[in-house]
Amino acid sequence: MDLSQKRKRISHELTNSQPSRRVAAPCCSTNGQAGGFVEGSILRITMRNFLTYDHSEVSPGPKLNMIVGANGTGKSSIVCAICLGLAGKTAVLGRGDKVGLYVKRGCSKGSVEIELYRASGNLIITREIQVENNQSTWMLNKKHSSQRAVEEAVKELHIQVGNLCQFLPQEKVGEFAKMSKIELLEATEKSVGPPEMYEFHCELKTFRSKERDLENVCKEKANFLEKARQRNERNKLDVERYYMKKRHLDRIQMLEKKKPWVEYETARKELEGVKKEREEMKKKLKSLKEAQEPLLRKIRSVESQLQPIEQQMKELTAGIRDASQKCKQKHDQLEYRNKEVDDIRQDLSLKQTEEADRQKRIGHTQLMIKDLQKELQNMGSMEDVTPQIEAVNADLRKIQEEKAKLEGEMLDLRRDKDEAFGELNRLRNRQRSLDDMMKVKEDKLRNRFRDTYTALKWLRDNRDRFEGNVYEPMMLVINVRDTRHAKYIESHIPLNDLRAFVFQRQEDMEKFMTEVRDTQRLRVNTVIAPEESCSKRPPSRPLETLKPYGFFSYLRELFDAPEEVMSYLCYQYKVNDVPVGTEKTKSMIEMVIRELQMRMIYTAEEKYTVKKSNYSSNVVSSNSALRPSQFLTTTIDADERSQLEEQLRAAERQVQSIDQRMAAIREQQAKLDRRDNELRANKKKLSELKGKKRQLEQKISTKQDSLRQMQQNKINLQAIEEETNAKIAAVNNKKVAIMEEYLGHMQMKARLSMDKVYLALQSAGLSAEKTKLETDCRDSSAELKRAEVVYTKLDQAKNNLLATCKTLMRRASEICNMTPGETAVPEELHAAFSQLPDTLDEIDAMLNEEKTRAECFTGLSDAVVEEYNRREREIQNMEKELDDKTNALRTYRQNIAEAKECWLNPLKLLVEQINERFSDFFRSMQCAGEVDLHSENEEYDKYGIRIRVKFRSSTELHELTPHHQSGGERSVSTMLYLMALQELNRCPFRVVDEINQGMDPVNERRVFDIVVRTACGVNTSQYFFITPKLLQNLQYAEQMTILCVHNGPYMLPPNKWSEKAFIRCATRRQIS
């Protein structure tokens, strides 16, 4: 097949040119297609002042469109034009968030025009973008319209630029694998399912939600109804008990009415008996009073005789008491004189004892003087010890001088040690401060990346299992020298690498990932440092040449990191060759980009990425605002930390050295103390020998003085004895006089006592007579008093009973509602009273029994019956409401069953078709993959599509996730899933941008063959495949359209471009 057959449709996109307009006039066919185009396919894309284009027009083919071109030529600009021209959101593209950013730099407005095939007439959508106010103007078929109308027209053609299954731009390729199973199902339903499938799914979720609400309502109402019925059933029993209690209360009321009448009758009978007893006792009391009068007269006569005798006895008793008092006084005087004699004799005895002691002390002192004189004579022959004492004193002075010197050294060392300890504590406090700052960084890691923090703790506990260096996540080991520059580092290094572990050896990284990812199921990132260190790699140009443009540093100089980490960052992200500028750089950014031609630069608040076309010198730049730093704001100076650790070690060595010197000085001081003690003990012995003779002489002299003093203090015992006898005689004379007075008082007391005895005998006779008379009178008086007490009680009982009868009558009348003055029981109560007991005890017993029974019915009131009736009405209303809700729930379940049948069966068939194609694609690549429908407990909002793949025969099928598979494996899986949808797709076109970048050549070739084979099928829609490169010797199809994107100042203008001339030229070159 020659070149013209391989390249059936070729369209060249040119910048700074006016291309010839291609008019599509397809003819209609019987299957609803024209020239192979399906309803909604793109016939033409025209861009003016859009991103890299001044003016360009693209005319794609109806099947597979391969858009090929070098990086920076404008391939992705076509994708952006399709998205924005069809009313897509900027968030879909993952680039700038403002639509004005898509206008070419330096222009005030730009436009995109897209022509869509439609059987009833092609649809032309025009969007003009204003940079100044970031607004857009819309047109449909050259007529002004609104964005809402454009969105409705696009929706009618089943175009969904927000669906990753239909429109997958370059920046969103990685997000396809991040889609949840639920999101993937919804995207697939919208993309390849019939229009009603997604609607049925939404209805099912709504119906299911309402069904749960109705189930809860029905359950609550049923529970409430059941409780109400149970409560009313209990109330029914309470109503019956209420009426039983009422009967008991009526009987109690009747008993209480009869009881006062019975009590009145009983009290009246008792009153009559008391009156009779009172009259009898009154007569008896009168006769007793008449019999007692003679005894009282005799008692009064005896009492008149006793009165003078008792008076005389009182006078004699007073005289006896006075005589006894005087006798006692004289006896006390005798006792005092006896004690005075004893004191005189005791003084004499003390003098005699004192004289005997003096004689004994004199003898003892004389013996001591003789012994001391003998000892003094024996010491006369000993030599003089004074020279020895002086020698010992000289040695002691030397020891004191040495001790003072050592003490001074010890004081100096203590001072040095205190200073060293102060410095050591200061350094330790600073080290703790640095550790706290590291703890802050670890807390940020734990809060944001829990799995990474868990893996970090495991690494710290198992670091000995690795042979090479293993570094903790970069955000912990990177220390920014100035926190103001942290935003540059975080903007330049991706977040996945900031939380990645850095390994020196490949086998260590594999061991680590096997443990934390496969065993512990943790989502962590790891990187390996290059074998050859790049940390010291110089920049491409000296910093001095950049300073005129406002640059002050390269990224590498803004932070510190371990050797391997810095090597990785220099190798992967060229931190050694990315300059950082200021506001000055921003003000002259166009000149900086034009003259320096650096791929990436930073200004004070923005990041600029510069790309240069491979075919021309044109430069394309993009900028983005720098986000505030989140993880590197906590700065730990590595030099300070290492210097601090060295200072800590030096301080600890200094303290240890001082301790050793102090220990040596203490040992010397101990030796000097022992020598000092020995010398002082020797000096003491010599001093004792020297002073012993002098002490003996002094003792002898002292004893002799004491002996003379004792001999002079002699006592005259004879004179003292004569003086003592004279004192005793004088005291005895006084005792004789006192005794004579004492005897006279005793005689007077005896005489008075005899007179009192005679009077007492007379009084005793009269008292005995009086006692006999009083006894007889007392017996009669006791009987009289008893009679008076009985009479008083009877009189009081009569009065009480009379009052009781009146009270009972009044009470009975009040209880029975009788008129005042009426005393007979009313006729209407006779019949009721006749059925009740007649005695008070029986009435009380029956009353207690009825009250006890009534008290058993507690918690009852008149409101019980009203509450019972009210609840009966509520139960009827609730039964009606429950029936209505149950019918509504039954209707919802019927709707759910119908919607489920209309949704689930076609969905299962659709998933089976996708799985069949997906599995076939993977088998053709000697791999395995499957797609199935995943559900949880019939919850329709939990249904999802699960993709499972394996690329090696030794592994099991694993679910497609952002973490388990590599980037190339995810790209292959994504591409094959999209191709599995291709033949089922009801959308008019599909766009995939640079999905093959992460694939190895073998997978890329296999995927390309599958794409060509599938996208160029009979019943497939339009397909856009964007790539910057193609492998050699690929298999192409006749239905393919290859769009080669070129960009540069030397391109041929489109009005001079001839496709036929180009093919002829290419054919001649091939033949030649």
For 432-459, the pLDDT digits (tens) are 776 666 777 888 888 888 999 999 999 9
- Asked whether residue 557 carries a pLDDT value surpassing 60, the answer given is yes
3-class secondary-structure state, position 8: coil
Percent of the residues in the chain that have a pLDDT greater than 70, as a whole number: 82
201 burial via Cβ count (<10 Å: 0-12, 13-18, 19+): buried
Quote the DSSP letter at residue 89: -
Return the pLDDT at 578: 92
Supply the angle between the helices 717-815 and 195-291 in degrees, to the nearest 10.
110
- Asked whether residue 16 carries a pLDDT value surpassing 70, the answer given is no
Return the pLDDT at 1014: 73
Return the pLDDT at 823: 64
- Asked whether residue 379 carries a pLDDT value surpassing 70, the answer given is no
Written as one string, the DSSP assignment of 646-696 is: HHHHHHHHHHHHHHHHHHHHHHHHHHHHHHHHHHHHHHHHHHHHHHHHHHH
d(CA 512, CA 458): 10
- Asked whether residue 8 carries a pLDDT value surpassing 60, the answer given is no
d(CA 40, CA 38): 6
What distance lies between CA 302 and its chain's CA centroid? 106
- Give the pLDDT band (50/70/90) at residue 868: confident
- The C-alpha torsion from 86 through 87 and 91 to 97, rounded to 10°, is 110
- Worst-scoring range by mean pLDDT, 23-37, 343-357, 611-625? 23-37
Does this model's pTM top 0.85? My answer is no
In order of 486, 512, 848, the CA distances from 475 in angstroms are 11, 19, 90
What single letter denotes the amino acid at residue 263?
A: E
Q: Strand 167-168 vs strand 989-993: parallel, antiparallel, or unpaired?
A: parallel
CB 973 within 8 A of CB 951: no
CB 946 within 8 A of CB 153: no
- Asked whether residue 549 carries a pLDDT value surpassing 70, the answer given is yes
d(CA 564, CA 582): 30
What order of strands is seen across the sheet that includes strand 579-580? 553-554, 579-580, 600-602, 606-612, 619-625
Residue that wins the pLDDT comparison between 812 and 119: 119
Return the pLDDT at 240: 72
| pLDDT tens track for 572-610 | 889 999 999 998 888 888 888 888 888 889 998 888 888
- Asked whether residue 503 carries a pLDDT value surpassing 90, the answer given is yes
Return the pLDDT at 27: 34
- Give the pLDDT band (50/70/90) at residue 32: very low
- Worst-scoring range by mean pLDDT, 263-267, 913-917, 937-941? 937-941
Other beta carbons less than 10 A from residue 51's beta carbon: 21
- Asked whether residue 294 carries a pLDDT value surpassing 80, the answer given is no
What single letter denotes the amino acid at residue 1065?
A: C
Query: Average per-residue pLDDT in the chain?
Result: 78
Query: Within 13 Å of residue 476, how many CA atoms lie on the same side as its CB?
Result: 23
Residue that wins the pLDDT comparison between 234 and 324: 324
- Give the pLDDT band (50/70/90) at residue 888: confident
Query: Within 13 Å of residue 567, how many CA atoms lie on the same side as its CB?
Result: 15
Quote the DSSP letter at residue 166: T
d(CA 451, CA 292): 122
- Give the pLDDT band (50/70/90) at residue 697: confident
Phi, psi angle pair for 1019, to nearest 5°: -105, 35
Return the pLDDT at 22: 35
d(CA 63, CA 1042): 11
What order of strands is seen across the sheet that includes strand 928-934? 928-934, 944-950, 958-959
Q: Which helix (H) or strand (E) holds 67?
A: strand 64-68
285 burial via Cβ count (<10 Å: 0-12, 13-18, 19+): middle
Mean pLDDT confidence for 667-692: 80
Return the pLDDT at 979: 66
- Asked whether residue 500 carries a pLDDT value surpassing 90, the answer given is yes
Q: Which helix (H) or strand (E) holds 289?
A: helix 195-291
Cβ-based neighbours of 423, under 8 Å, separated by 6 or more: 651
63: nearest Cα among 1028, 996, 988 = 988
- Worst-scoring range by mean pLDDT, 336-340, 437-441, 461-465? 437-441
Mean pLDDT confidence for 173-202: 67
Q: Which two tokens stand for residue 709?
A: 């003093």
- Worst-scoring range by mean pLDDT, 84-98, 232-246, 711-725, 757-771? 232-246
Q: Which two tokens stand for residue 48?
A: 């003016």
- Asked whether residue 2 carries a pLDDT value surpassing 50, the answer given is no
- Worst-scoring range by mean pLDDT, 44-48, 553-557, 678-682? 678-682
Mean pLDDT confidence for 852-876: 73
168 pairs with which residues across the strands? Answer: 992
3-class secondary-structure state, position 179: coil
What distance lies between CA 840 and its chain's CA centroid? 75
- Asked whether residue 501 carries a pLDDT value surpassing 90, the answer given is yes
Mean pLDDT confidence for 396-400: 85
Return the pLDDT at 350: 82
- Asked whether residue 535 carries a pLDDT value surpassing 80, the answer given is yes
Written as one string, the DSSP assignment of 292-314 is: THHHHHHHHHHHHHHHHHHHHHH
Return the pLDDT at 580: 93
- Asked whether residue 895 carries a pLDDT value surpassing 90, the answer given is no
d(CA 364, CA 356): 13
- Worst-scoring range by mean pLDDT, 597-601, 868-872, 1023-1027? 868-872
Residue that wins the pLDDT comparison between 1070 and 613: 1070
- Asked whether residue 970 carries a pLDDT value surpassing 90, the answer given is no
Instruction: Quote the radius of gyration of the chain (alpha carbons, Å).
Output: 65
Cβ-based neighbours of 1041, under 8 Å, separated by 6 or more: 8, 9, 10, 11, 60, 61, 63, 64, 65, 66
Within 903-978, strands assigned E span 928-934, 944-950, 958-959
What single letter denotes the amino acid at residue 994?
A: E
Q: Mean pLDDT: which of 419-423, 440-444, 457-461, 625-629 is highest? A: 457-461
Q: Mean pLDDT: which of 156-165, 663-672, 731-740, 790-799 is highest? A: 663-672
539: nearest Cα among 521, 556, 562 = 556
